[in-house]
Amino acid sequence: MKKLVLCLFIFVIIVTSTAYCEGWDVFNLFGSEDNKKLDTKELYKESVSSVVALTVMNSKGGMNGTGFFVLEPDIIATCYHVVAGASSITAKDSIGNEYKIEGIIDYSEKLDIAILKSSKQGKTLTLDANMPNPGTNVYALGNPMGLNFSFTNGMVSQIQNLDGTNVIQFTAPVSPGNSGGPLLSESGKVLGIVSAYFTKGQNLNFAVPVAMLYTLNKSKSPKFDDKLKKLYDLFMQDMVLCPAGSFMMGSPENELGRFDNETQHKVTILKPFYIGKYEVTQSLYENLMGNNQSKFKGENNPIENVSWYEAKEFCKRLNTLFKDFTPKGYKFDLPTEAQWEYACRAGTTTSLNSGKNITSVFGGQNLNEVGWYGANSKNRTHPVGQKKPNAWGIYDMHGNVNEWCRDPCREYTSSAVTDQYYNKDSFYFIRGGCCRTIAALCRSANRNYRDPSIRNFDIGFRLALVPVDE
């Protein structure tokens, strides 16, 4: 009798909700009367084709979760916290089929539920809004950590009230990435949407009853959050476009402070590229990577103490974050040595990118104008952008921190070449000099190299957006 009263109560709520949820077939909410128990293998087989792994991109990077087709063939249910702030969502089923998500139709932050619009139809699961009794066997189906689909068994421990909503607490093991997946009965019907709740250091597995889906409005237009696009646009304001063109790389034999590995030769940059107006700062690096190992702390100081591999990982994460916005055929990466010097010179042929030369191998006013080095830095890094930029508006190409380049060591020849990526050595170039070097090592043409695994307070990097075919 109590169960019937509860069901009628939920039914009244649902009927009331249809005032703004026009089109929902509420009479299908309780499923059919076929409650035949399935064995575990059969239950998994019948259910898994309706479940998808979700990869969500947002302004914080992204996350993985689970969803399932429900109610209509082009609607996917999941948890709100999985898709909150999403700029794009990719869905993939257990056999690798991809489903383009057109946007979030509607959600409830309080109930932690959301419905998504899929461009391709899937097989829907049947719902059962009858609140299960404690001790009922249940199964959690999901995609933990974005890996293989998992199917775990447990039982309902209790019906608990969380923030005014009755939820199904259960014992089936789940992991991050399971959120948004279905909690299934032994007959394969969906009882709830798997979520989690943290209280007093305890992680409680619970599912939001499927009846709550009917409080959402399926007639809304699907859309994504545009915060990530705005972040990309803001990010690109600090990237400088470098046009295709040719320049003389290296230094003339009479340049003060010259080394013999700077043989001058003509290089042609075949395609335009972008390079950072500033060295990558500690605040930018920490926001994306979650750590800051710099010796000289300051949010606008350049990141340092980073290896070549860590700099490459930073670029990789940016590519993932902004994959829907970067120009076709381009990717974020370190600049090649040729791109670095081309951007540094900005049309100049002198030892400094200001159009002036160093007046001493140790220092002088000309270098003081454009860079932090041993004679003026007090042997520490300084906030980016405080010295004069070059003609293209790029700062700190001389001094502050040495900057990793993408390509490993190679010898110059006097022959004309096109810029290309060389991959045949274990040491990688650093360019620009740093806060503790003499003037000769801060010249536009100066070359140095390090083991890619090394970290030092005098090495950072500058970002580039470059053609992918390099």
Structure token pair of residue 425 = 């050595």
Residue 5 has pLDDT above 50, yes or no: no
Whether 222 maps to a domain, the answer reads no
Looking at the predicted structure, is the pLDDT value of residue 413 above 90? no
pLDDT tens digits, residue range 7-31? Answer: 333 333 333 333 333 444 433 444 4
- Is 143 in the same domain as 98? yes
Sequence-ordered list of residues with C-beta below 8 angstroms from that of 137, at least 6 positions apart, any chain: 153, 154, 155, 185, 186
What is the predicted pLDDT for the residue at 418?
A: 67
State how far the alpha carbon of 380 is from the alpha carbons of 122, 367, 383, 394, in Å.
Answer: 59, 16, 10, 21
Q: Kindly state whether residues 176 and 248 are assigned to the same domain.
A: no
Residue 215 main-chain phi, psi, to 5 deg: -85, -5
Which of 282, 278, 287 is closest to 239 using CA atoms? 278
Q: Which of 215, 241, 256 is the last residue of a domain?
A: 215
Residue 202: pLDDT band (50, 70, 90) is: low
Above pLDDT 90, what percent of the chain?
Answer: 63
Place of tokens 């097989």: 123
Classify residue 220: in a domain, yes or no: no
Alpha-carbon gap, residue 65 to 61, rounded angstroms: 14
Residue 210 shares a structural domain with residue 75: yes
- In the structure encoding, which two tokens stand for residue 291, read together? 């750590």
What is the Cα–Cα distance from 373 to 371, expressed in whole angstroms? Answer: 6
Residues 398, 400, 405, 411, Cα dihedral to 10°: 50
Residue pLDDT, tens place only, 435-449: 999 999 999 999 999
Q: Do 389 and 445 fall within a single domain?
A: yes
Query: What is the β-pairing status of strands 417-418 and 428-431?
Result: unpaired
pLDDT band at 197 (very low <50, low <70, confident <90, very high): low
State how many domains the chain has.
Answer: 2
Q: 106: domain range?
A: 2-215
Residues 174 and 322 occupy one common structural domain:
no
**Does 211 share its domain with 237?**
no
* 292 and 341 housed in the same domain: yes
- Domain limit, last residue, from 215, 246, 281: 215
- The answer on 293 and 186 residing in a single domain is no
Q: Is residue 37 part of a domain?
A: yes
CATH number where 283 lies = 3.90.1580.10
With respect to residue 221, please indicate whether it lies within any of the assigned structural domains: no
61 and 187 in a single domain? The answer is yes
210 and 246 fall within a common domain: no
Structure token pair of residue 300: 């606008």
Which one-letter amino acid corresponds to residue 382? Answer: H
> Does residue 50 sit within a domain?
yes
Which of 70-84, 99-113, 229-243, 340-354 ranks highest by mean pLDDT? 340-354
Residue 127 lies in a domain: yes
Strands 190-199 and 265-269: unpaired
